[in-house]
Amino acid sequence: MDEELRWTDAVGQAELVQSGAISPGELLDAGRDRIREIDPVLHCIVAHLEPGAEGPAPGAPFPRVPFLVKDLSLEIAGAPFNEGSRWLKDNVSSQDQELARRYRHAGLAILGKTNTPEFGLSPHCEPALHGATRNPWDLGLSTSGSSGGSAAAVASGMVPMAHGNDLGGSLRYPAAWCGVFGFKPTRGRVPMGPEYGDVAGGFAVEHALTRSVRDSAALLDATAGQSPGDPYWAPPQARPFLLEAGTAPGKFRIAATATPNSGQQVHPDYLGVFEETVELLAGLGHSVTEAHPESLGRAGHRAVRAVYGGAIAWIEAYWTQRMGRPPEAGEIEPFTAADFERSRALTGGQYLLGMGELQRFSRRLAGFFEEFDVWMTPTVGWPPLPLGTLNGTEEEPLRGEREAGRFLMFDGEYANISGNPAMSVPLGVDSDGLPVGMSFLGRFGDEATLFRLAGQLEKAAPWADRKPGALERALAASRRS
């Protein structure tokens, strides 16, 4: 592998093509070479794809830059589409999603689809259909999820960026455990059509995992914008997000807390990185105050369960209709089966009552952002768990849900409930050298503030030079053998 090219971000790779230093074909071949060498160690990719012979359109921002898409919701005509489920193991997409078309129009070379837990329902990346994706920082640990395959691929240097999506933290949690930048845009910023629209009341959004802030911003510039008939519309952006990422932010009012929502214990190393980040922000001139939005409370948590339950009921009904049959015995995992069973008891009235409660909460959250520009917490509160810990079993199907409480403790779902943009920024490491991410939630429609802040943090506390040592040792051993 060309190690310098491997760790060059997507904007940098595009600049090499545009300057003539490398041809689009050479860039594509280098990406294929990295995938061939790295993926057997990590198992990020569940379907290999060819991008086609046609070259990028003139002026495309990412000419032949290697790219991967998560095998969840984003369909590509003629490509396998399994969503991590044995029920869907022979399913093939018959159409492109609008986002896939925008990726191609941007010049990206889509080389594969990445691993995800069954229907994206769990915060891990270990589906029975495909097996586990390994964390490049420690091959025995989880990547979190559900965009874990994409996060690991980016952290490994396989590709500079990869698609993911987020209904309850699925971009940000794996970003934190894999040490990459994970950005969740405002609701409606990126289209989900033509097949999908109102997924769980707009909780679900599409974007990507990247190594650099500018890659995330430039990719969002290339894909943002509503399609006719979209159910949600984000406020128009004032300027290109790439420009925002390089703009000095000025002084922001930042609320910060590391107090978990349900009394869980935060790992001491994570508290240390949080405190270092508070000091860094203050040193950069920002006003940092110990504060947090009001809690969801019992009514809010019941509402979240109702809305997520409605989404799970939709998944079962949608795929039963699309496949022409319900799942057969052994075709879905124990946790999914338990989730489906729980959701069947939910009524339409309960779902809509839940949506109403969460919309009222969103209005109160909007009031919080009249006082503050950003809310910061650790993205998660504990280091990566061993592979297998988050899987349900026949004897204990909900085991993973219980174990997830060991690290999911900072209200990541607020971004999905409200539709506000959020990001996980890799701002430190723990005592074992594993990455630690900090979460930042912004106001609705205001990605600009987050990109400005992220760009400033990237310069003040850069992470690009951190390489996953466990993967490098495994690759070295493979080469020797």
Q: What is the pLDDT of residue 133?
A: 98
CATH assignment of the domain containing 406: 3.90.1300.10
Sheet with 253-256, strands from edge to edge, namely 45-48, 109-114, 66-70, 161-166, 205-210, 181-184, 422-429, 435-442, 374-378, 253-256, 287-290
pLDDT at 85: 98
* Burial class of residue 54 (count of CB atoms within 10 Å of its CB; 0-12, 13-18, 19+): exposed
For residues 206 and 164, give the distance between their C-alpha atoms in angstroms, rounded to a whole number.
Answer: 6
Rounded mean pLDDT for each run of 10 residues along the chain, 481 residues in total: 94 97 96 98 97 84 98 97 98 97 97 98 97 98 98 98 97 98 98 88 96 98 95 95 97 97 92 98 98 94 96 97 96 97 95 97 97 98 98 95 94 97 98 98 98 98 97 95 83
The reply to whether 70 belongs to the active site is yes
From the candidates 142, 144, 146, 150, which is the catalytic residue? 146
Query: Which of these is catalytic: 70, 144, 150, 343?
Result: 70
Predicted confidence at residue 16, as pLDDT, reads: 97
Q: Where are the beta strands (DSSP E) in 328-402?
A: 374-378
What gap in Å lies between CA 464 and CA 467, rounded to an integer?
8
When divided into structural domains, the chain yields a total of: 1
Give me the domain span that covers residue 282: 3-480
- Catalytic residue, chosen from 142, 170, 343, 439, is 170
Q: What is the dihedral of CA 332, 333, 336, 341, to 10 degrees?
A: 70
Active site residue 146: yes
Q: What is the DSSP string of 130-141?
A: T-PPPBTTBTTB
For 294, counting Cβ atoms within 10 Å of its Cβ (0-12 exposed, 13-18 middle, 19+ buried), the class is: exposed
User: The whole model's pTM is what?
Assistant: 0.97
Rounded distance between C-alpha atoms, residue 417 and residue 435, angstroms: 27
